[in-house]
Structure 1
Amino acid sequence: MPPQHALPASLSLKDHLPTAELMGAGDIYFNDVTLDSRECRPKTLFVAAPGRHGHGSQFLGEAISRGAVGVVTSQILPNCPLPQCLVANPRAAYAYLSQSLYGHPASRLRMMGVTGTNGKTTVSWMTRALMAKSGHRTGLLGTVEYFDGYRAEPSVLTTPDAKLMAFWQHRMVSRGTTHLAMELSSHALDQSRAAALPLDCAIVTNITHDHLDYHGDFARYREAKARILDLVKPGGTIALHINDPGAASLVSLVPAECRLIRYGVNVDAELSAQILSESLSGTTFRVQYQGQVMQMKLRILGRHNIENALAALAAGLAWKVPFLSMAEALEEFRPVPGRMERCTWGEPFDIFVDYAHTPDALSRALCSLRGLTRGRLICVFGAGGDRDATKRPLLGRAASQADVAIVTSDNPRSEDPDKIIQQICDGVPAQQVEVVIEVDRKLAIQYAIEQALPGDMILIAGKGHENEQIIGASHLPFDDRRVVRELLESRAKDVLNRLSPAETFSANSYTASGYSDANPATSPLGMALQTDAILPDLAVVETDSLQRVSA
């Protein structure tokens, strides 16, 4: 529950939902609103909304006992002693009332919302970076963190609950933040969490297979994604990725009063890119927009990240950010934590940690690395339990692009990990890829590292930035990047212990003045430690995910 808002003692429901029908009272005065009956206290307005497994009206008794002053509902509740407010969509009403509680902060922010099966986090982080580069303090709400322009905190959901969203927007406005880049999940759009947001720009990165356990089928999933178009205010911008059939299918739904920017790689579109070169140091590409042509460089890998960069550029164009400023921001951009994050300690092979947990994302990640791999491509991955089971064999099929597929646990939750793994393996084409099964995720990562040869690449997919693994009801500390670090440390120490004293001294020599560009930080084997951070402790392996956002 967000901290208490600083507002007058009570608000008039009639003033804030003037078209709603009131029963049992001429008006309802309240000082808080909630969907959760457990949060009710005196003068709280309880919103009885439908859910996946029931209806909020089932908890009306608890709301009354805790002091609720009225109830917002879509249907008359018989025998209810509280005044009732009838609305067509209780969740949308909750979003509007949440904005009222915090003084309508969304109306004082310039906002970009991005939805899509994959790419939302990278697009929002890129947008924040290019806006900061051009001097605009920009907040962020998304999968990894919530950021008010000064301070970041770990996120709760990809798209926060409407009241928590309003709280963070209020916090941004109070600190002088002017812009907001936010991720809008299909769940959030379906549940009207963002119903009160007037977006300047909406972006759809792609619509591929995911969350069918929630939406039921692909058509309803697409329909949920399409709802972002309804949030764009007249004169706003809608950017659709036309390389993706799902996103491109929304072109006909774009409101006439909105500006459409179609974007893609090697396509005829308003905003397009052509990849010029790719390497482990990044990708160089040429961007074209309305006769302007500019060469840009991105330090992160993958064609899909060029597509993400185009989406961020579309947001910048909506806010009239100069092209040169955006190009400079993208060249300085560092990987989002757990998104194609390179974790190395001078090994003769490369290791990447990525959040890819959908068939399309895994396929794209492997395809990106395949073109840069001199040796074998090894993939460690799994699938989440209590989630869309239909994508599991599709993940197996996507992993067949690797030379070695190590199938392991992701977050099995209440399901049997062996059963999940078998469903994944059912989709792996016979004899197309070497398959190894290891239920223990740490042992699976260890096996990949032990088997890697010079020139190989390892992709550890599915969890990315996550720092826990959910097994049954237990939330256990687990971070793929930390596990890699610990295994590489152990590997280096084992080798060091086998060296003679003279070799050990040579491997660890350094000048009295410390480490410098001429004398870089080294591992116990004398190998260059790849990092963009200052290392206060050489026992700690840093990765290249440090993201600097100007205040």
Structure 2
Amino acid sequence: MLLSELLKEWPCTVLQGSIRQSVSGITESSKKVKKDYVFVIRKGSVQDGMAFIDEAIANGAKTLAVDRTNADLSLVPDDITVVLVPDCSLFISYGSARFSGNPAEELTVIGVTGTNGKTTVSHFIGQLLNELGCKTAVIGTTGLYINGQLTETIANSMTTMPAEQLHPILRRCADQHVTHVVLEASSLGLSSNRLAHCPMAVGIFLNIGMDHYVEHGGKQRYIEAKKKLVLLADQLVINEEDETCHSIGMELADPPIYFSSQHIHGMPQPPGTYPVLGRHNEMNARAAVGALFALGYTWQAVRPHLTSLRLPTGRLEKYEEAGIEVYVDYAHTPDALQAVLEALSASSKRVITVFGCGGERDREKRPQMGAVAAHYSSCVILTSDNPRTEEPSQIILDILAGMTGFATPVDILVHRQYAIQYAIRQAQPGDIVLIAGKGHEQTQQSGNQTIRFCDMEEVKKAFAAENKRRKKS
């Protein structure tokens, strides 16, 4: 593609060089630059693309795109074209879509946003569409699935991948005759314009709770980020029982499809209609059915396929041995932890909960999660969950602040592997053990290190070790 073609429909000012040249790709990562690439100089929350100009040029960049008039580009060689654009995050989105041939326009795209439940709802929608004969891709936290089969994992486990990754994947989906794509639309993905050039047939608002306030700079900015989905989707599906989501629906010119614990779009839905564990997953299933309604399917067409719904990896993922039920779940917010514990404690069995809170994330939710765990659990084991550069013991102290006043026994084992082993050792036949917070994740981030760590693998190892110990004794 000629650079002039790429820029034809985009406002820009040429600061130096020529736009009558071929360009072979676009990226905001200097390490991914190849011959004749456009390097987009974007300022991120951690790093600034300005620091990587030399590396990008050395790797083959022939064009630089910048959105700051005060940027010092005096040392850029004369044979490198420099263009000034209004917003680099929008430009990388636009350019990525153009280079891939705007594949989203060839697909029926459904976007799912919410503090909790995005992965589950995305997979539920994919499963129902598969049952109805549609070749469907699901893209999100746990990877790329086509017709329910994992075909690609996502680098860094991003919920919403960067535009330069997303659009080539959408192109491959279109070329493989996929007709529908379900995307997890995270607040960070929406706020950074990763989905800005991905038009959607349906957008779903599940809930808006406490998460990512620190990254966004407060609750209101977090909400505003979520609301960007309104501009991308033709039809909206909204949880009317969530106050913030409902208020978003009330602002719309065209009425959305509402769902609740009682109905979808005015159609009564009694409890037990959906064969999934927990009230929160019944709501997730209703959201998925709402999406099918928005696509034009009837209740009569969808209902026979509800028995096919299966929770994705790391969402109330069950392992049972020696009469002990163990569930691994991604719940890492107060609302999500409460929903999972409500579902598990409804059986009246003893519930042992193992969890921690992430470092460098919202501290306000830590005592709230402590209170939730203490309220619903028979006993609690506090541990580490991606402490990053924070001191794990301080994170645990923050959690403990919410557990005062409860008689629930609390143990502290900072090392997550030991905490899981201890929980399995303490559990008796008939007990339930919940390992919460990481779900599908395969790593643990501590300090500046990232090590391989999988909760479910550690559960199985713990049972094996316990069996070995018992045989010896």
Q: Same fold, TM exceeding 0.5? A: yes
Indicate if the aligned counterparts of 1:146 and 1:154 stay in contact, CA closer than 8 A: yes
Q: CA deviation at 1:26?
A: 5.2
User: How far off is 1:56 after superposition?
Assistant: 2.5
The unaligned stretches of length 5 or more in structure 1 are 1-9, 276-283, 286-296, 499-551
Q: Kindly indicate whether residue 29 of structure 2 is the aligned counterpart of residue 32 of structure 1.
A: no
Secondary structure at the counterpart of residue 256 of structure 2: strand
Q: Secondary structure at the match of 2:269?
A: strand
- CA distance in 1 between partners of 2:250 and 2:470 (Å): 61
* Aligned residues with identical type, % of pairs: 33
Match of 2:126 in 1: 128
**Residue in 1 aligned with 2:11?**
20
Cα displacement (A) at 1:407: 0.6
* Deviation of 1:323 (Å): 2.6
What is the deviation of 1:496?
5.8
Q: What is the match of residue 372 of structure 2?
A: 398
Partners of 1:487 and 1:55 in 2: CA distance: 44
CA contact (8 A) 2:124 2:310 kept: no
**Structure 2 residue 261 is the aligned partner of structure 1 residue 265:** yes
- 2:50 equivalent to 1:57: yes
8 Å Cα contact 1:134-1:321 kept in structure 2? no
Shift of residue 267, structure 1, vs aligned partner: 6.4
User: Which residue does the alignment assign to 1:332?
Assistant: 308
By how many angstroms is 1:16 displaced?
5.0
Cross-structure match for 2:175: 174
Unpaired segments ≥5 residues, structure 2? none
Which residue in the other structure is 1:68 paired with?
Answer: 61
Residue 154 of structure 2 aligns with which residue?
A: 155
Q: Structure 2 residue aligned with 1:85, among 74, 78, 83?
A: 83
Which of these residues, 23, 45, 49, is aligned with residue 38 of structure 2? 45
Pick which of 137-146 and 265-274 moved more: 265-274
* TM-aligned CA distance change 1:252 to 1:13, over 3 Å: farther
Aligned length: 462
Does residue 306 (structure 1) correspond to residue 282 (structure 2)? The answer is: yes
Tell me the distance in 2 between the aligned counterparts of 1:38 and 1:468: 23
Worse overlay, 179-188 or 72-81: 72-81
Q: Deviations over 1:365-420 (max 9, x none)?
A: 111112122x3222110011232333222221221222211111112222221121
Superposition deviation, residue 151 in structure 1: 5.3
Cα offset, 1:446, TM superposition: 2.3
Distance 2:262 2:309 in 1: 23
**Cα distance change on mapping 1:37 and 1:243 into 2, 3 Å:** same
1:110-134 CA-partner distances (Å, limit 9, x unpaired): 0000011110000000011000000
**Counterpart contact for 1:407–1:439, Cα < 8 Å:** yes
What is the TM-score when the length of structure 1 is the normalising length?
0.79
- Aligned-pair CA distance for 1:465: 1.3
Q: Distance in 1 between matches of 2:392 and 2:350?
A: 27
Q: Give me the whole-angstrom Cα distance separating, in 2, the residues matched to 1:11 and 1:354.
A: 48
Alpha-carbon distance in 1 for matches of 2:10, 2:449: 46
For residues 89-128 of structure 1, the aligned pairs below 5 Å read 89-128=87-126
Read off the aligned partner of 1:60 and give its amino acid letter: I
Structure 1 residues 272 and 112 mapped into 2: Cα distance closer, same or farther (>3 Å)?
Answer: farther
Q: CA RMSD in A?
A: 2.2
Residue 37 of structure 1 contacts residue 63 of structure 1 at CA under 8 Å; is this kept in 2?
Answer: yes
Q: Which residue of 2 aligns with 1:345?
A: 321
Cα distance between partner residues in 1 of 2:322 and 2:268: 36
Q: 1:58 to 1:396 in 2, by over 3 A?
A: same
Tell me, in whole angstroms, the C-alpha distance in 2 between the residues paired with 1:20 and 1:242. Answer: 40
State the match for 1:549 in structure 2.
Answer: none
The structure-2 alpha-carbon separation of the partners of 1:271 and 1:250, relative to structure 1 and needing over 3 Å to count, comes to farther
> 1:252-298: per-residue Cα shift (whole Å, max 9, x none)?
343x2x551111113695455331xxxxxxxx22xxxxxxxxxxx32
CA 1:350 to 1:12, structure 2 compared with 1: closer, same or farther past 3 Å? same
* More off after superposition, 204-213 vs 465-474: 465-474
Contact 2:264/2:290 (<8 A) preserved: no
Structure 2 counterparts to residues 147-226 of structure 1, below 5 A: 147-149=145-147, 152-156=151-155, 157-226=158-227
Given residue 320 of structure 1, which amino acid in structure 2 is its aligned partner? G
Q: Which amino acid aligns with 1:229?
A: V
After superposition, give the CA deviation of every residue in 1:419-459 in whole Å (9 maximum; x if it has no partner): 21111111213234221111122222222222223443221
Q: How far apart, CA to CA, are the structure 2 residues paired with 1:493 and 1:56?
A: 53
CA deviations over 1:459-518 (Å, ceiling 9, x no partner): 1101111222222333333221122222223434555677xxxxxxxxxxxxxxxxxxxx
Contact between 1:13 and 1:30, CA under 8 Å: does it hold in 2? no
Q: Does 1:11 align with 2:10?
A: no
Runs of 4+ that moved beyond 6 A: none
Q: Which has the higher Rg, Structure 1 or Structure 2?
A: 1
- Report the Cα distance in structure 2 between the residues aligned to 1:473 and 1:54, rounded to whole angstroms: 16
Q: Does 1:241 align with 2:239?
A: yes
Counterpart of 1:263 in structure 2: which amino acid? F
Aligned residue in 2 for 1:456: 431
Relative to its length, the structure with more helix (as a share) is: 2
- 1:414 matched to 2:415? The reply is no
User: Match for residue 372 of structure 1?
Assistant: 347
Whether the 8 Å CA contact 1:110–1:200 is kept in 2: the answer is yes
For 2:112 and 2:414, the matched residues in 1 are separated by: 35
Q: 1-side partners of 2:3 and 2:406: how far apart?
A: 68
- Structure 1 distance, partners of 2:200, 2:42, is 25
